[in-house]
Amino acid sequence: MKIKRDFAILISLFLLVFNASLVFAAPHLSLHIVVEETISGTPVSATFTASGTAVATGLICVSGDVIEIGSTAPINSVGPFQTFWVTKQFTCGTDTFDVEMFVRLNTVTGYTKAKWEIVGGTGAYTDLQGEGRLKGTPITLGVTILDVYNGKVY
């Protein structure tokens, strides 16, 4: 009988702690970033505009600068598709957050798709986390691209 009672107490305690952690977890806020980049220069840099609940609540700034701080040579090429890693740094005033992406490029059309994740930050963004997807649409093939990031941050 004592074992059943102890087990019931342990289960109750676990459920209480688990439910409390859900209540106090940071909310996931939507983030939409648009960047028109000239990709033929070095380094690749541009300005961005952001919207969504992450911007409305003041977590992320409305606009800032973005620069490519790292990339790999194509990892895999199949037909017209290449995949590679890219890291970009977004700057809002003196604070930054770094986004790492695994990109899939169609070398014929210039369209890209990517999964992104925040991998670091400074200042107000030191503890920022988040992830999402990117779609890149060529404006001038091989010269400029419109990148649209959609995801959640917390």
What is d(CA 100, CA 115) in angstroms, rounded to the nearest whole number? 8
- The more confidently predicted of residues 75 and 17 is 75
CATH architecture observed for domain 26-153: Beta Barrel (2.40)
pTM given for the model: 0.81
Task: Calculate the CA 82 to chain-centre distance.
Answer: 20
- The more confidently predicted of residues 39 and 41 is 39
Contact call for residues 96 and 122 (beta carbons, < 8 A): yes
37 CB neighbour count, 10 Å cutoff = 22
